Chains A and B, each alone.
Chain A
């Protein structure tokens, strides 16, 4: 099955700085890569996702890049704010694969802390 590795496990930045979280995956058939933000005691919320036919996607201060050849993808948050503090998870899947119902394979998460 798929194996997703995520680094770093913790990340501290000053408000206004950028934060980068990196993930690698093992299954070349994976073609969908979402990122989730989880606040304490709550369920994960999708913040951005990318399909393998796209190399980069942006949404305001958040961007995701994908290198399909190297099998890695990254989350970039610019101009960080204290409310960005949370745990971030990357995931990989093949939503079109009927045998696994498009199940997500998750990284272990990154605790991001943004200091004012």
Chain B
């Protein structure tokens, strides 16, 4: 999985609860991305970030928040405003400038109790 770790592997959320998914990379990559995967829908972009303390919304950012306090870390919070959070969440990263390949982590499966 190319030096990207995601935790936990499985996460359960109760109604009205915020939960945070961890993504860490030791590849010294600049850009990091969060995707949501639902069956038959491919990967949809939630948020992305190029540098510390800067990030942009993707196509489905509503109900999610992120932070980028360190270059190697890009945690995703699924808030209670996200009404349908059950999905497989994938974090990715790439070098900025001269590198094209995005490397993915192993994913976190979020389930609602």
When the two chains form their complex, are residues B94 and A107 in contact, meaning their CB atoms are under 8 A apart?
Answer: no
A contact residues, range: 20 to 34
Cβ-defined contact, A103 with B58, below 8 A = yes
For A34, the chain B residues whose CB sits under 8 A away are 100-102
B63, CB-defined interface residue at 8 Å: no
A44 partner, pick from B40, B56, B104, beta carbons under 8 A = B104
Q: Are B100 and A95 in contact (CB under 8 A)?
A: yes
In the docked arrangement, what's the CA distance between A43 and B35, Å? Answer: 11
- Contact flags A92-109 to B (C-beta < 8 A → 1, else 0): 010100000111101111
Point out the residues of chain A lying under 8 angstroms from B42, CB to CB.
Answer: 6, 89, 106-109
Contact partners of B43 in chain A: CB under 8 A: 44, 89, 104, 106
Annotate A28-69 by CB proximity to B: 1 below 8 A, 0 otherwise. Answer: 000010101000011111100101000000000000000000
Question: In the assembled complex, which residues on chain A have CB atoms less than 8 Å from the CB atom of B56?
Answer: 101
**A6, A9, A45, A49: which contacts B100 (Cβ < 8 A)?**
A49
Given contacts A43-B90, A44-B90, A108-B41, contact A102 B105 (CB under 8 A): no
B60 CB to nearest A CB, Å = 13
Residues of chain B in range 41-76 having any CB-CB distance to chain A below 8 Å: 41-45, 48-50, 56, 58
Binding site for B on A (CB under 8 A): 6, 9, 32, 34, 36, 41-46, 49, 51, 89, 93, 95, 101-104, 106-109
What are 28 A-B contacts defined by CB distance under 8 Å?
A6-B42, A36-B104, A41-B109, A42-B1, A42-B107, A43-B4, A43-B6, A43-B90, A44-B43, A45-B104, A46-B101, A46-B102, A49-B100, A51-B100, A89-B43, A93-B100, A95-B94, A101-B50, A101-B56, A101-B96, A102-B31, A103-B58, A104-B45, A104-B102, A106-B42, A107-B42, A108-B41, A109-B40
Interface contacts beyond A101-B96, A106-B43: sample of 14 additional A-B pairs, CB < 8 Å, sorted by A? A43-B1, A43-B106, A46-B101, A49-B101, A51-B100, A95-B100, A101-B31, A102-B31, A102-B94, A102-B100, A104-B33, A104-B43, A106-B44, A109-B40
